[in-house]
Amino acid sequence: MINVYHNGACSKSNGALELLQAKGIPHEVRWYLMEPLSVEELSALLIKLGMQPSQLVRKGEPIYKERYEGKSVTENEWLQILADNPTLIERPIIENGGQAIIARPPERVLEMT
């Protein structure tokens, strides 16, 4: 089953979800801003993405610029920061079994089907 870590305010996230729906591909949606991921869930997802926590940070977000830009932050600290501030998580993340991708552009979602 494909899992979509979705932010409804994001055009890329909406685009990926619309592609899945249009093609009739079964999927589940996790509205991660309303149901934030735990540190453990993020850790498992990062392994599937093949990324470090710092690589998942949206550096254009106001919270990043106000609190973290230019500061020295460890990967473990980023993990907790992402769990505490889900708006900083790059999106959309598409997970299928042992693999995950960031679907930018949204058409990348089709790589997971």
Helix (H, G, I), strand (E, B) or coil at 16: helix
Strands 27-31 and 2-6, how do they pair? parallel
Class of CATH domain 2-112: alpha beta
DSSP characters over 17-41: HHHHHHTT--EEEEETTTSPPPHHH
Q: What is the pLDDT of residues 37-69, one digit of tens each?
A: 999 999 999 999 999 999 999 999 999 999 999
As a whole number of angstroms, the distance between CA 30 and CA 86 comes to: 12
**pTM tops 0.75:** yes
Q: What is the pLDDT of residues 5-20, one digit of tens each?
A: 999 999 999 999 999 9
Which sequence positions are flagged as catalytic? Answer: 10
Q: Where are the domains of the chain?
A: 2-112
Distances in whole angstroms, Cα of residue 56 to Cα of each of 12, 65, 102: 15, 15, 9
